Structure 1
Amino acid sequence: MRTTSSFRRVETDLVRSVRSSADARLGQGALLYLRGEAGTGKTTAVTQVLASLDTPTAYVAPRLSRLSPRALCGALFESLGITQPLPRAIAASARILTQNLARRPCVIAYGDADMLTRPSHRLIGDIHHGTSSLALLTGLPHLKPLEAAADHSIEARPMERAEVLRLLPRLHPLWEQAPSALIADLDDYLHGNLRHWQHATAHYQRALERGSMLQDPAAMHWVLRRMGLPRPPLQEQPAPIEPPPAPRRSPRRPDGRLQRSSRPDSATHAHS
């Protein structure tokens, strides 16, 4: 089941910052490190920047495994289209990569670089500092080896409230007609996290398909519960006020006179 919604490509503050830093270091063999917590839009920003560059690009992702230097060399051979067999020696592989990148400078993005081993971090620095190709790495913050090896680092932070209100209607049609107050209320729980907003948008779409209204507090409560996030208490609806029961009317005979109850009179019953 799809739990994230595709967002349109929009120029965020982070995209502009990454593009500016990349443009300033093209052809210098530099390492640019984009660090930030999960969901702050690092991968989205790098993908948009790579698509906008005229320089040839390649993307290497560790696929959630700690790539050793040899495995990293194999991934780079594949991404760069190097058909030469991968040597056993790391130094020989690094030499082939350096020679290849010297002939055709490019920008290589390393996704989730925090999943790489420290020797792999050093290998990336050796390869790129020996050429004019730019390395663009993304990863979690507070990684000292990456920060020390990088020539420049950028911190990816959650979107500020003003940026959320400005960009969200442009990111997805669901929010084009949404009141700013609703977006602000929801962001109190999503905290400007781009990935959280993608998940929330997908869940809201499901809620609308099930007949909910976008501004219904119950819909927000359901979306946040599905995401496992804290949620506002739902106001209890007051119980409906029922009208008092109608007085019981005695039946009438056809001539309009009150009909005597068939229940025996208590006094007569006692006398008998």
Structure 2
Amino acid sequence: MLCVTGASGVGKTFAAHAVLAGHPAHRSCVLSLPSRPTPADLRTAFHDALHLPGPPPDDPGVCDAAVLDALAAGPQTVVVDEAHQLSLAALEYLRYLYDSLPDGLCTVLIAGEKSESVLRDTPMLGTRAALWCEIRPLDADLVPLAARRLHPLWRQASGAQLRHLDGHFAHGRLRRWALLTHQARRIRSTAPAACRRWIEQLAARVDDGSIG
């Protein structure tokens, strides 16, 4: 098991999906869960994510057998976002699946920075979590490179301009850079202009707080 933690908006979920996308031969099982999921919610989520036929069986034992058969059919990486919302019963269900498979179950648990202690205090993870990975906001000197890889329009901006936008708004957080990119594209589409002008317009919106 791998536990990924970090502050809100730094790109934890994006990073997990990007790594999985880079290894298409290794199948991923991304669970879509409601808030505070129960073991029954996990069974339904596994049934859907594994593309099992028909609706989930009402009998938990039958459902578990189908889920385990599908997981045992080949390498799978299970991704659980907002893992700190899992109840002890839900975490125990993941432990049951992990222990029921000969090679265990590769599981990525994603949780917010302030929720890391919730996972660390869970006995089940104490002996099964092989790695704890903290994703931090980007350092200022990495912002120009990251922004230009995020979207080609940032290749027109200078390093100083990108660091200004980051220092006044994004603070090294990928989610905020995605919002800046959306705003920049809107400015470019409504009033095409030279690079410096649209970046200055965007910076002005950042400085006056109109982008939130």
Write out per-residue CA displacement over residues 200-253 of structure 1, whole angstroms, 9 at most, x where no aligned residue: 11112223344371342x53131452333xxxxxxxxxxxxxxxxxxxxxxxxx
Q: With structure 1 as the length reference, what TM-score do the two structures score? A: 0.64
Task: Tell me which residue corresponds to 1:56.
Answer: 27
- 1:145 Cα deviation (Å)? 4.2
How far does residue 93 in structure 1 lie from its aligned partner after superposition? 4.0
Of 148, 156, 165, the match for 1:169: 148
AA of the residue aligned to 2:210: R
Contact 1:94 1:123 in 2 (8 A): no
Could you tell me how far 1:39 is from its partner in structure 2?
A: 1.0
Q: Which residue is 1:197 aligned to? A: 177
Give the C-alpha shift of residue 144 in structure 1. 3.2
Matched ranges for 1:143-154 at <5 A: 143-147=116-120, 148=122, 149=125, 150-154=129-133
**Cα distance change on mapping 1:34 and 1:111 into 2, 3 Å:** same
TM superposition score normalised by structure 2: 0.80
**AA of the residue aligned to 2:29:** A
Secondary structure of residue in 2 paired with 1:67: coil
Partner of 2:82: 112
CA change 1:215–1:52 in 2 (3 A) is closer
Structure showing greater Rg: 1
Structure 2 match to 1:139: 111
Distance 1:161 1:204 in 2: 20
Who is 1:220 aligned against?
A: 203
Q: Distance in 1 between matches of 2:88 and 2:63?
A: 17
d(CA) in 1 for partners of 2:70, 2:82 = 24
8 A contact 1:204–1:223 mirrored in 2: no
- In the alignment, does 2:96 pair up with 1:126? yes
Match of 1:69 among 39, 44, 55: 39
Answer whether contact 2:165 2:203 (CA < 8 A) is retained: yes
1:62 and 1:34 map into 2 onto residues whose CA distance is 17
State the superposition RMSD in angstroms: 2.3
Is 1:182 aligned to residue 161 of structure 2? yes
Task: Deviation per CA, 1:9-57: give whole Å up to 9, x if none.
Answer: xxxxxxxxxxxxxxxxxxxxxx111111221111111111112222222
Percent of paired sites with the same residue: 25
Deviation at 1:180, TM superposition (A): 0.8
Question: Is 1:168–1:175's contact at 8 Å kept on the other side of the alignment?
Answer: yes
Contact 2:84-2:118 at 8 Å conserved across structures: no
Does the residue aligned with 2:5 lie in a helix, a strand or coil?
Answer: strand
Residue 60 of structure 1 deviates from its aligned partner by 0.8
Partner Cα distance (1:114, 1:178) in 2? 39
Structure 1 residue 175 displacement after superposition: 0.7
**Comparing both structures, which one devotes a greater share of its residues to helix?**
2
Partner of 1:39: 9
Q: Deviations over 1:167-205 (max 9, x none)?
A: 211221221010111111111121100000110111122
Q: Secondary structure at the residue paired with 1:206?
A: helix
Per mean C-alpha deviation after superposition, the further-off stretch among 141-150 and 33-42 is: 141-150
